[in-house]
Amino acid sequence: MRRARSWVSDNIAMIIAVGVLVYLFLPVLYTFVFSFNNYRRSNITWNPEGSPTLKHWANPCGAPGVCPALVESIKIGALATLVATVLGALIAFALVRYSFRGRSSTNVLVFLPMATPEVVLGASLLTIFIQAFRMDLGFWTVVIAHIMFCISFVVVTVKARLQSLDPRLEEAASDLYANPRTTFMRITFPLALPGIVAAALLSFSLSFDDFIITNFVSGNETTFPKFVYVSYTRGIPAQANVIGFSMFVIAVLCVIAAQVIGSRRRGATA
Amino acid sequence: MTTAVAASAREAGDPQLTPPRAGAKRRRWTPYLLLIPGLLWLTLFFIVPLVQLGSASLQSQWPGAPGYYYRDVNVGNYVEALRTYGVHFLRSLLYAGTATVLCFAVAFPLAYAMAFKAGRWRNVMLILVVAPFFTSFILRTIAWRQILADDGFVASTLRAVHLLPGGHITETWVAVVAGLTYNFLPFMVLPIYTSLERADPRLLEAGRDLYADRFTNLRTVTIPLAAPGILAGTLLTFIPAAGDYVNAELLGSDTSTKMVGNVINSQFFTVLGGYPTAAALSISLMILILVLVLGYVRRFGTEEVL
């Protein structure tokens, strides 16, 4: 009894941690289970009469609108990630490697969008698109908005990576008569690359999952989160669960692959 | 001027990453060339829209023409908006504050276990914390609606032991706060984990060696070590939670749990003539959050946040 109690008190943090992880996964599990629901009208409650079915997995595009929305989300995410990663990485390089006038105001300007609630960002973008730029709401306004809020996250991520690098590596390169271009291509960029990749992945997932800002500036454009939200009142098709859960599996596999490759490479250099 | 810019634009693809040395005059321009595209984007699609929103919040409606506005300095919009929707403001702060505290209570043990107890399982746990993110957050919120539904396991158990006076969890503030807590939890876990991971475990051992009991060690060593992460985590949780309307929409009721985000959204999209009110509410929310954040950072802050 006493031994049991001391085991519990030694591992209390771990026990809570496992509990929290279960809590984090509970809704994902629900999403998964309800992708097999043999429902008639609405996929909100489990249909006790029908046996679990694989028909939604066999035909993930079966519900009207699901796959077009998914394709739009992927296109928007890819474009926004590309532009935001380039623009954000350039800012991060400037902030870490140069001292210049206006540095602290640049920091504030990068920080502010992250400290602004999404409704405010969405509302202000909608206002400017309609009242001043007179743009038609749709694909491009969503891309513009997503690039805007991704830039700050890219800057923060890449900056953290650059700050952790040893500046002596670059000094060594220039001591060995590497010109600045060579130093950048052979030393700085490869070392910064993991940070840039992490920033790109973060951008894509932020863009892919964004609902609030997208809802403000999208007009008739439908992304995947918007599709789910809009179809909620009528009943979400189980195909959305199939796609949502598949995205989860794909992302986890990517992260695991990145981890394995990273640790192999580390093993090879050691 | 233009030729100078064009000439140095060629350099932009070739950032010189050594610190500027004396005599390298053209290098002074390099940081600005790196900054220009990104900052231009932020100015054009963040600062300018905010200014426009500010001006929209002061517009007045043409009498007899709902939905048409003219430029004005109608501060009355703010008075009217805050008088009518002040309660929604308070509710947002209260819900977001409660969710932030709950997030911290749940996230700290998890981050602590990951940093000090997990050993080789550390990276696996890190993946597990981030992984649920990749199922669309709307889908997960709807899953919470199913979990907390009246005929679900949680609600029926609580009803059976008479701990659910109203008989429902969904459509109440409990569900909204639970949803906010769930949705923003990883934003709390990751920064705390990052600062604990950087901390030297020998400091904790030193505390133990000096006969600090567990609680003292936690209070005087662990939490101060995690302070930058806790600060960042509370901001990353509180700010989006205060502006959120999806949780209140999907988990809450139509009347008693509406947050300020819901009001802004509906004033923009469904109320004819609600435009200036929505803009005034947005600007007020932004100012309120900035004031709270600045006060909080000044009180507890370190340089590391910016």
DSSP of B77-141: HHHHHHHHHHHHHHHHHHHHHHHHHHHHHHHHHHHHIIIII-GGGHHHHHHHHHGGGGS-HHHHH
Same domain, B136 and B285: yes
Rounded to whole angstroms, how far apart are CA atoms B274 and B67? 8
Same domain, B94 and B154: yes
Alpha carbon of A124 to those of B19, B67, B239: distances in Å?
38, 17, 17
CB contact under 8 A, A27 and B15: no
Same domain, B40 and B186: no
Same domain, B102 and B190: yes
Same domain, B166 and B228: yes
Rounded to whole angstroms, how far apart are CA atoms B306 and B291? 16
A255 or B186, greater pLDDT: B186
Alpha carbon of B175 to those of A20, A116, B148, B171, B185: distances in Å?
18, 25, 8, 7, 15
CATH number reported for the structural domain that contains residue A231 in this entry: 1.10.3720.10
Residues in chain B: 306
In-domain check, residue A207: yes
Rounded to whole angstroms, how far apart are CA atoms B276 and B215? 52
Same domain, B153 and B219: yes
Alpha carbon of B209 to those of B197, B205, B217: distances in Å?
21, 6, 10
As for how many domains chain A has, the answer is: 1
Three-class SS state of B60: strand
Domain that holds residue B7: 2-56
In-domain check, residue A41: no
In-domain check, residue A224: yes
In-domain check, residue B74: no
In-domain check, residue A128: yes
Q: Is the pLDDT of residue B107 over 90?
A: yes
In-domain check, residue A45: no
Same domain, B129 and B175: yes
Same domain, B154 and B192: yes
CATH number reported for the structural domain that contains residue B97 in this entry: 1.10.3720.10
Nearest by Cα to A247 from A207, A215, A201, A205:
A205
Residue-wise burial string across A49-79, b where 16 or more C-beta atoms lie within 10 A, e elsewhere: eeeeeeebeeebeebeebbebbebbbebbbb
What is the predicted pLDDT for the residue at B302?
58
CB contact under 8 A, B53 and A45: no
Banded model confidence at residue B105, pLDDT cuts 50, 70, 90: very high
Q: Look up residue B170 and give its DSSP letter.
A: T
Contacts B50 to A, Cβ<8 Å: 120, 124
- Cβ-Cβ contacts under 8 Å for B85 (sequence gap 6 or more): B260, B263, B281
In-domain check, residue A43: no
Interface size A-B, in CB pairs within 8 Å, comes to: 281
Three-class SS state of A140: helix
Contacts A186 to B, Cβ<8 Å: none
Rounded to whole angstroms, how far apart are CA atoms B194 and B7? 42
Q: pLDDT tens-digit profile of B14-41?
A: 444 444 444 455 567 888 888 999 999 9
Q: What averages of pLDDT result for each successive group of 10 residues across chain A (270 residues)? A: 68 87 90 84 72 81 87 95 96 89 90 90 92 89 96 92 82 81 84 88 90 93 92 84 90 82 64
Rounded to whole angstroms, how far apart are CA atoms B215 and A263? 36
In-domain check, residue A72: yes
Same domain, B90 and B180: yes
Q: Look up residue B150 and give its DSSP letter.
A: T
Chain A nearest C-alpha distance from B265 (Å): 8
Question: Read out DSSP for B10-42?
Answer: HHHTS---SPP-TT-GGGGGHHHHHHHHHHHHH
As for how many domains chain B has, the answer is: 2
In-domain check, residue B93: yes
User: Do residues B43 and A110 make contact, with C-beta atoms less than 8 angstroms apart?
Assistant: no
Q: Which of B46, B182, B240 sits opposite A113 (nearest CB)?
A: B46
Neighbour count for residue A107 (Cβ, 10 Å): 15
Contacts A123 to B, Cβ<8 Å: 53, 264, 268, 278-279, 282
What is the predicted pLDDT for the residue at A2?
62
In-domain check, residue A262: no
Rounded to whole angstroms, how far apart are CA atoms B46 and B43? 5
Top mean-pLDDT range of B98-112, B184-198, B204-218: B98-112
Looking at chain B, the whole-number percentage of residues with pLDDT higher than 70 is 89
B12 or B230, greater pLDDT: B230
Alpha carbon of B57 to those of A243, B276, B287: distances in Å?
40, 4, 13
What is the predicted pLDDT for the residue at A198?
86
In-domain check, residue B205: yes
Q: Which of A11, A123, A251 sits opposite B131 (nearest CB)?
A: A251
In-domain check, residue B68: no
Same domain, B188 and B239: yes
- Quick one: three-class SS letters along B250-284? HHCCCCCCCCHHHHHHHHHHCCCCCHHHHHHHHHH
- The residue type at A250: I
Neighbour count for residue A99 (Cβ, 10 Å): 9
Domain that holds residue A194: 64-236
Question: Read out DSSP for A60-87?
Answer: TT-STTHHHHHHHHHHHHHHHHHHHHHH
Same domain, B29 and B93: no
Q: Which residue does chain A place closest to B106, by CA atoms? A: A20
Contacts B125 to A, Cβ<8 Å: 17, 21
What is the predicted pLDDT for the residue at B281?
93
